[in-house]
């Protein structure tokens, strides 16, 4: 049944993802020993290694936050394959350096190049791969396709960890570099790319301006067309407005921030602590990674499908946060060599945090986004769909929206209202409008009315547009864009019902 929706392009994408992920995972258990040998040879404790690792992690994360949306938006214009080549190709450089030599000067060269390349490749490769996958799978098959994508990543994680466990350090980096090169060459040769389909509704975010849409016969020329350009990137004010519009989103952001802060600090130092405390090497690190991988796989494939229907996601989230916090404390005071292994098994519960958070937040976008989870066992991953696609590709969101609208065979009534589809359609439309422009989202949650003012006789009259402030003009533009998007997305018969609406919120 899988062959029914897996195209040749998707299969080639899976091969590319497997090879590149395996090469990245393969070096993780060994990099601690290499760092210690280069910076503090003959010692099991090295504060400099911890500081440099934390600094690298911070810079990589900051770069990913800035660069990932830009690369994703560029992929709308130039194609996924062209932009996916960038992170896969540059990831070869640091691996090739350590494959050549692991002396101190070469390690510093690796450190600098790895930091710079991670700023570009961390996050962008996964988002572009997901966008390509969404471009080449239908809406109904997308959940299963994302599940297979997660399975490929899990298989690559296991294979890379096993390879690192049994290969000598001298061979790990050359083989990882070869894997990365093969992934890049394979992708350039076999992966077929196509630019995201053009749409009258939306243009790439990085275009300088948005062309006016052609008039429709049934609007009577009453609908204002957007003439100002879309913003290239959301501003800080947009982000603040978004968080203010949703208490749940704000709470989730706080949880994500502090969870990421704790996990990031732990990941940057825990392996060095184990090496200093118990003299661990790459083999023990690989064993711990395998335990984490197996525990996480069992949790997401077996426990999550069983527990989600019984316990609410917020309870599983609380359980995951509690177990994760206890695990960090126990690891930090590990008193025996078996303690890290026991804590690694507890990952079966602490792994609940990310999938539960994503599922809770994604339901605010569309409650039917989770339908594919029970079919493929990957609820935690498919819940990422609306947010990754909004970040990387506004075209993918509207294409999914249109797929949902055109389902059904009703000729007398638009299909979006058949079989209770209205709630689903509405949630997808809101997600799309929010991804277009924060002014559109403000128009939905705040509403809009024609501005008025009092004349000299205290008579209330309509305020002329030339007298509008910039804030008032932004509100009007957002309202107009929402109505315009609705006009182009909805069946004309339905639009007649809302054609008289002045406010996007009412519409």
> Which CATH number fits the domain that encloses residue 180?
1.20.1250.20
Reading phi first (left if > 0) and then psi (alpha if -120 to 50, else beta), residue 448 is in beta
Please indicate, yes or no, if residue 206 is contained in any of the structural domains: no
The pLDDT of residue 236 is 57
Same domain, 160 and 187: yes
User: Taking Cα atoms as reference points, which of 470, 442, 484, 396 lies closest to residue 239?
Assistant: 442
**Across 478-490, average pLDDT:** 67
**Across 461-486, average pLDDT:** 71
Same domain, 222 and 258: no
- Are the CB atoms for 127 and 392 separated by under 8 Å? yes
The pLDDT of residue 494 is 55
**Across 19-28, average pLDDT:** 89
Count Cβ atoms below 10 Å from residue 12 Cβ, excluding itself.
18
Same domain, 189 and 267: no
The helix (run of H) or strand (run of E) holding residue 502 is none
The pLDDT of residue 181 is 94
Highest mean pLDDT among 346-355, 367-376, 433-442: 346-355
Same domain, 175 and 74: yes
| Residues 166-207: tens digit of each pLDDT | 888 889 899 999 999 999 999 898 888 765 554 433 333 334
Same domain, 1 and 106: yes
Same domain, 316 and 427: no
Same domain, 226 and 335: no
Residue 124 is encoded by which pair of tokens?
């962008």
Same domain, 392 and 433: yes
What whole-number percentage of the chain has pLDDT above 90?
Answer: 6
CA–CA separation, 448 vs 472, rounded Å? 10
The pLDDT of residue 383 is 35
Please indicate, yes or no, if residue 413 is contained in any of the structural domains: yes
Distance of CA 8 to the CA centre of its chain: 24
Please indicate, yes or no, if residue 486 is contained in any of the structural domains: yes
Please indicate, yes or no, if residue 208 is contained in any of the structural domains: no
| Residues 256-288: tens digit of each pLDDT | 777 777 776 676 677 777 877 778 877 777 788
CA–CA separation, 479 vs 200, rounded Å? 18
The pLDDT of residue 179 is 93
Is the model's pLDDT at 88 over the cut of 60? yes
Domain that holds residue 337: 247-363
Same domain, 92 and 31: yes
Q: What is the pTM for the complete model shown?
A: 0.57
Q: How many structural domains are present in the chain?
A: 3
Please indicate, yes or no, if residue 368 is contained in any of the structural domains: no
Same domain, 409 and 269: no
The band of 4, judged by pLDDT with boundaries at 50, 70 and 90, is: very low
The pLDDT of residue 418 is 47
Looking at every residue in the chain, the average pLDDT score rounds to 69
CA–CA separation, 177 vs 414, rounded Å? 54
Same domain, 224 and 286: no
CA–CA separation, 32 vs 457, rounded Å? 79
Same domain, 253 and 189: no
The pLDDT of residue 243 is 63
Domain boundary pick from 177, 193, 209: 193
Please indicate, yes or no, if residue 377 is contained in any of the structural domains: no
């Amino acid at each position: 049944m899988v062959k029914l929706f897996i195209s040749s392009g998707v299969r080639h994408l899976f091969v590319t993802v497997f090879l590149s992920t395996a090469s990245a995972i393969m070096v993780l258990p060994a990099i601690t020993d290499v760092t210690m040998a280069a910076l503090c040879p003959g010692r099991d404790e090295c504060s400099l290694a911890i500081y440099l690792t934390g600094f690298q992690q911070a810079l990589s994360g900051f770069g990913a936050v800035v660069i990932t949306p830009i690369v994703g938006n560029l992929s709308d214009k130039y194609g996924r394959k062209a932009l996916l080549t960038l992170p896969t190709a540059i990831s070869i450089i640091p691996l090739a350096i350590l494959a050549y030599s692991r002396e101190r000067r070469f390690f510093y060269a690796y450190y600098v190049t790895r930091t710079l390349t991670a700023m570009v490749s961390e996050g962008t490769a996964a988002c572009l791969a997901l966008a390509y996958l969404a471009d080449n799978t239908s809406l109904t098959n997308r959940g299963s396709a994302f599940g297979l994508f997660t399975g490929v990543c899990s298989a690559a994680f296991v294979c890379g960890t096993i390879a690192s466990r049994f290969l000598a350090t001298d061979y790990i980096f050359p083989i990882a570099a070869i894997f990365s090169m093969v992934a890049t060459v394979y992708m350039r040769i076999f992966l077929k790319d196509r630019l995201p389909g053009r749409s009258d509704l939306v243009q790439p975010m990085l275009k300088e301006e948005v062309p006016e849409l052609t008039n429709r016969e049934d609007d009577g020329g009453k609908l204002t067309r957007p003439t100002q350009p879309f913003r290239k990137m959301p501003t800080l004010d947009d982000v603040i407005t978004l968080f203010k519009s949703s208490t749940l989103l704000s709470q989730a952001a706080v949880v994500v921030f502090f969870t990421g802060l704790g996990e990031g600090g732990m990941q940057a130092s825990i392996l060095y602590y184990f090496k200093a405390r118990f003299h661990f090497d790459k083999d023990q690190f690989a064993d711990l990674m395998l335990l984490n991988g197996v525990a996480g796989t069992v949790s997401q494939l077996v426990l999550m499908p069983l527990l989600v229907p019984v316990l609410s996601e917020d309870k599983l989230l609380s359980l995951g946060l509690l177990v994760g916090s206890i695990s960090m404390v126990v690891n930090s005071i590990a008193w025996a060599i078996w303690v890290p292994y026991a804590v690694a098994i507890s990952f079966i519960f602490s792994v609940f945090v990310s999938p539960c958070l994503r599922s809770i937040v994604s339901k605010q976008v569309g409650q039917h986004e989770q339908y594919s989870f029970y079919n493929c066992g990957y609820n935690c991953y498919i819940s990422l769909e609306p947010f990754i696609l909004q970040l990387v590709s506004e075209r993918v969101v509207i294409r999914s929206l249109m797929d949902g609208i055109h389902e059904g065979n009703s000729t007398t009534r638009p299909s979006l209202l058949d079989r209770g589809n209205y709630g689903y359609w509405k949630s997808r439309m809101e997600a799309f409008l929010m991804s277009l422009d924060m002014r559109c989202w403000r128009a939905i949650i705040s509403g809009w009315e024609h501005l008025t003012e009092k004349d000299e006789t205290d008579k209330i009259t309509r305020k002329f547009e030339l007298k509008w402030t910039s804030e008032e003009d932004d509100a009007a533009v957002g309202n107009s864009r929402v109505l315009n998007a609705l006009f182009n997305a909805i069946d004309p018969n339905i639009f007649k019902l809302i054609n008289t609406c002045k406010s996007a919120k009412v519409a």
